[in-house]
Structure 1
C-alpha cells in the first residue's frame, strides 16, 4: 500500500504584459474548471500570479497549459505534495496588480535585484557583508523567518516602501530580500535599486523553493501560506518553533484566523486555546455575534461576495455546441 500523496499545490507568478486581462481570465478560468483545479489566481496587465491545487495529473496539465502560452513559457512553478485539495473553491480574478504593492510604475522585467538560487542564497546568507531582508507582513514573519533576518512592522506589503529608510544603515552591504514565493521581492528589490541601493539581490522562488531544493537550514519556525494548509514546514535540518500562542504565550506553530470576521487577526494559537476560545483571539471576539464556527483549523474559505465561477460559461458552451 502506497502513502504517496495524490494531490499537488502549485505556487507561481509571471511578470509579463497581458493586453486583455478580462479575456484571458475567462479562458484561464474555463481551463481550471474543466480540469478540476481549485485556488486563487490573479490576472493583471502586468502578469499572472496564482496558487492552485489538484490531482497530480490535473496539475501537470495545468502547468503545460500555462507554459504552452509563449507569454508564460518561463514561469517557475513551486510544487508541494498534499493529501487533498488545499482550497475549497476556485477564484480567478482581474486586479490592478498581481500583488498589491502600490509600485505599479515598477516593471521587474526592466530592472530588479539579482536572482539567487536557493543554493547560492544558502552559501552567502551568513556572510558578514550580507543583510537578509524579509519583505513580508507581521503575521508571516512572526510565524517563521530566516535566522538573523531584518523584519518590518508592516500589516501589508504596500507598507514596505515607507520602511526602506530603516535599511539606510546597510547601504554599503549586499541586501538580499526574500518572501514566500518570490513575487514580492521582484518589486521590493527593484524599489531598493530605485532608492539608491547598489548591491541588491533576491532569493529566487522564495522560502518555498528554498525548502524544496535545500534542507531549509536556518529557517526558524514555519512558513505561512495562502491556502487551506495555512502553514508548511521548511526546515529539515535544524527546525525550531519561534511563534507563541496569542492567548497563553506558549510556543506554537499553529496559525489561525480569528473566528470573529470583523477582527480576522492572523495569529499563532495552540490547539488547546483554539478549542477553549472557539477560534477567537480574545474574550471579546469569542462573544462577538458574527463569530464563525470553529472546526479546529482556524481557516475560513474566502467569501464569494457575489462572485460566480461559472458566470458566462453556460452561454459560451451553448454557442459552441
Structure 2
C-alpha cells in the first residue's frame, strides 16, 4: 500500500459567510500538511488534495462531521508522493466555472452509481456525452461517447445544436469526478431533454469501483500526474503522438511556456523535440527545461504552504482597504 492519498471531491451545499469558511478551511489544510487546489463558493466546495494517508483520513472525517458536508463522496486514490507542489484555497463565485443559468440543488440529472452506469451504458437508446474539455477527451473517453470541441463548460450552450436531435434518447453525461455534470445535466433538462442521467463520481469513481470497462485511453487529471489509468478490464490507447502520429497516451504540457499546449507526446518525440509541440516552440526563447515528465511547476521562490496562506490574507486585506 502506498503512503499517500489523493482525494477528489465536491459538494453543492449553501455556505453562509464563505469568506470566513475559506480561511477556516485553509487553516485545516495547513494543520494536516495537505497540498492541492480547493474552491470555496456560496454554492459549495470543490477540491483535489494530497497528503499522507492518516492526514487525508482526518480531513475526510473532519468534513463529514460538518452537517453541510456530510454527503461528500470522496474519490480516494493511492500515490507514492504528494500529487501537488502547493496549496491553493480560493474563494470564487462558482465551484466550477460554467455561467450556466441552473441550480443543481433544485434540479439536475439523475445520479447513476458506477454499477448502474455499467448496466445502462450499452442499451440501444442510451447516448453518452462527455462534458470535459477537448484536451481531456483527446487522451481518453468512453467508447462511443459524444464529445464537444470546447475549452470549458461555459461553451456548452454553443454545442447544443450538435445534440438537438437526441432529445428522445436517454442521455448520460460524464466528466472526471462528476462536478461538471451537476450543472451540465441540469442545463440539458432546461433545454428540453427529458431522460437525463449523470455518472455519479465520474470517471474516477467508475474506475475505482467498477473496473473502468469501456473507458478507452487514460483520464486527464489536474495535478502533477497529468493522467491516470482507469480501465482494468479492456484498456485501449486511443490518442496519438502530436508529433509523429504513433499511438501514445503519454500526456504532456508543451515546454514552451508561451504555448503550454496539452497534448499526447511519445517518449521518443518528447526527448527529440525537448517536450515541444512544434518547431516554433522548439526554438522559443522561453522554452522550459524538459525533464521527461512534461509537467512544469511554477518557480516556488521559497514558497511554503504557510507563506502562501499569508500571501492570500495580505491580498484580501489590500482589496478590502481599496474598496
Does TM, scored on the shorter chain, surpass 0.5?
A: yes
Structure 1 ranges of 4+ moved more than 3 A = 302-308, 312-315
1:133 paired residue among 118, 129, 135: 129
Q: Does 1:26 align with 2:23?
A: yes
Residues 17 and 128 of structure 1: CA distance in aligned 2, closer, same or farther (over 3 Å): same
Residues 302 and 43 of structure 1: CA distance in aligned 2, closer, same or farther (over 3 Å): farther
Query: 1:13: which partner in 2?
Result: 10
Query: 1:318: which partner in 2?
Result: none
Query: 1:237: which partner in 2?
Result: 233
Query: 2:109: which partner in 1?
Result: 113
Q: How many residue pairs align between the two structures? A: 311
Mapped to 1, the partners of 2:149 and 2:190 lie a distance apart of 22
Alignment root-mean-square deviation, CA: 1.8
Query: 1:165: which partner in 2?
Result: 161
Mapped to 1, the partners of 2:200 and 2:10 lie a distance apart of 11
1:44 paired residue among 38, 41, 63: 41
Mapped to 2, the partners of 1:87 and 1:128 lie a distance apart of 42
Structure 1, unpaired ranges of 5+: 316-321
1:78 paired residue among 52, 75, 78: 75
1:309 is paired with a residue whose SS is helix
TM-score, normalised to structure 2, is 0.93
Query: 1:249: which partner in 2?
Result: 245
Q: Deviations for 1:18-64, whole angstroms, at most 9, x for unmatched residues?
A: 12222111111111111110000111111110000001000001111
2:141 is paired with a residue whose SS is strand
Contact 1:219 1:239 in 2 (8 A): yes
Q: Deviations for 1:146-175, whole angstroms, at most 9, x for unmatched residues?
A: 000011111112111211221111111101
1:110 is paired with a residue whose SS is coil
Mapped to 2, the partners of 1:58 and 1:207 lie a distance apart of 25
2:217 paired residue among 218, 221, 229: 221
TM-score, normalised to structure 1, is 0.93
